[in-house]
Structure 1
Amino acid sequence: MERLRDGRGEPPPYAERVLDVVERIPPGKVMSYGDVAEYLGEGGPRQVGRVMALWGGAVPWWRVIRTDGTPAPGLEEECFARWREEGTPMRGLRADMRSARWDGRTL
């Protein structure tokens, strides 16, 4: 899938793999940064976070969150609005990781 570029150049192959996984997360579901890395079998939460910070604007970034169910700092309000729109299960100001977490296999 062709993505909009943000002036930072073409994402490297690892970043493309991360973005591909993020694009597949269904509406109403989330994965933590670590979940994405584990699914890919490479990198870690920080590497996934870096990819999302640099190139994540063209994918459903609000579906990739911290392990505790909270969105990235500074993006909370937009994230909550998108979660409400998509019906993402929440517990207070967090995604309900038990019911919202996507394992990459089931829909």
Structure 2
Amino acid sequence: MNTVDAVREVVATVPRGRVVSYGDVGKRIGVGPRQVGRVMGLLGDGVPWWRVVRADGTPATCHEGRAPALLRGEGVPMVGARVDMGRGRHRWAH
């Protein structure tokens, strides 16, 4: 399986109301977070891109900045403009 397909597969399985970091995705498929970020830029709206955040909880800034609103709509706790990564029940660990 190539990297694009592997990232797509992992991101597609992140449940509603949960998030993963770029590094979390990378660890699952054996690549670095920057590679995951590059691949995420290739994926369209067919996967829940807004559920992938930076390690510090900063949501994606692409797609006209819609990620924070989509995350809040799913009940993901935010502290200011970041996902509260300290609340373990929202960080998905498959």
Cα distance in 1 for partners of 2:63, 2:79 equals 18
Q: Which runs of 5+ in 2 are unaligned?
A: none
Higher helix fraction (1 or 2): 1
Instruction: Quote how far apart the aligned CAs of 1:73 are.
Output: 3.0
Moved more, 94-103 or 62-71: 94-103
User: Is 1:27 matched up with 2:16?
Assistant: yes
Change (3 A) 1:76 1:93: farther
Structure 1 or 2, whichever has the larger Rg, is 1
Cα distance in 1 for partners of 2:65, 2:7 equals 24
**TM-score scaled by structure 2?**
0.87
Percent of pairs identical after alignment?
51
**TM-score scaled by structure 1?**
0.77
Instruction: Quote how far apart the aligned CAs of 1:74 are.
Output: 4.3
Cα distance in 2 for partners of 1:55, 1:48 equals 11
Q: Residue in 1 aligned with 2:74?
A: 86
Query: What do you get for the CA RMSD once the two structures are aligned?
Result: 1.7
Q: When the two structures are aligned, how many residues end up with a matched partner?
A: 92
